[in-house]
Amino acid sequence: MLTCKEFDDFMVDYLEQGLPVWRNFMCWLHVKMCRECADFVRDYKRAVKLGQIAFDSPDEPVPDFVPEELIKAALSHRRSN
């Protein structure tokens, strides 16, 4: 199984579905087995979705708590590896 550090290296490509099938499967498996990375992926997807909402509706204010939460999640994720 991938370590959290290895998953971290592939995570963006995984979320963008840009990985070869086998590596994609290893990442998927890691997310199923690792609570921390599953939480991180969930927060990342939420942030991306909010980014898309902001992009689709440029006049709507983006909630300012989101980037800070994501930064905290990213920092704590990196510290734990």
Residues that bind Zn ion (CB under 5 A): 4, 34, 37
Nearest approach, Cβ of residue 16 and Zn ion (Å): 18
Q: Using the minimum distance from each CB to Zn ion, give the nearer residue, 13 or 62.
A: 13
Q: State how far the Cα of 55 lies from the Cα of 71, in Å rounded to an integer.
A: 20
Closest to Zn ion by CB, 29 vs 53, is 29
**Is 57 or 76 the residue whose CB approaches Zn ion more closely?**
76
Q: How far is the CB of 79 from Zn ion (least distance, A)?
A: 13
**Farthest CA pair distance, the chain:** 44
Closest contact distance (angstroms) between CB of 9 and Zn ion is 12
